[in-house]
Amino acid sequence: MLTATLLVCAMMALTGANEDPSINSTSLIINRDESCPSNWKKFNDRCFNFVPRSLSWATAEKNCQSMDANLASVHSIEEYHFIQSVIQDNTAQDQETWVGASDCQEENVWLWSDGSVFKFSNWCQGQPDDTENRQRCLQINYGDGKCWDDNGCSNLRPSICARKAQ
């Protein structure tokens, strides 16, 4: 009964709002940026989406591509903190997560999968270390410093995708 009463009240409030010509119907949409798909978060000119499923780096990249995106590239400390906040909002923790850099083509030459220039980094001390010549992909939120670490590309991690805002 309480649910029905609340539903009726909500409908009456919305109906009354539509009758008031001083209220723009778009003002009822709260914090929705039309330049990003639903459930994506905008930072500057890009949209970001956290993918909680644990995937290998290559499968995570392919999954992002299926959404017209790539694994996220990171270009500033502000953008890195924003990406961390998206992960935190989705997981309530600082979970190790794939982003879109690898040095698979050449040892210690890091490239972003979206083709952007790799000029900002936030490596943890002593990283990248390419332990046993098997760490070619970039994970974030590593260790106590929540910084960057190279990791084995076949390891399973959640990921974060990015695409240009429309």
Average pLDDT over every residue of 93-120: 97
pLDDT grade, residue 133 (50/70/90)? Answer: confident
CA-nearest of 134, 164, 162, 142 to 56 is 134
Task: List the beta strands (DSSP E) in the chain.
Answer: 41-43, 46-55, 70-71, 97-102, 111-112, 137-142, 147-151, 157-164
Convert the pLDDT of each residue in 8-35 to its tens digit. 333 333 333 333 333 333 333 334 568 9
Average pLDDT over every residue of 114-140: 95
Percent of the chain with pLDDT over 90: 77
Judged against a pLDDT cut of 60, whether residue 4 lies above it is answered with: no
Task: Give the tokens for residue 36.
Answer: 């990003």
Judged against a pLDDT cut of 60, whether residue 7 lies above it is answered with: no
Output the pTM of the full model: 0.79
* Annotation: CATH topology of 44-164: Mannose-Binding Protein A; Chain A (3.10.100)
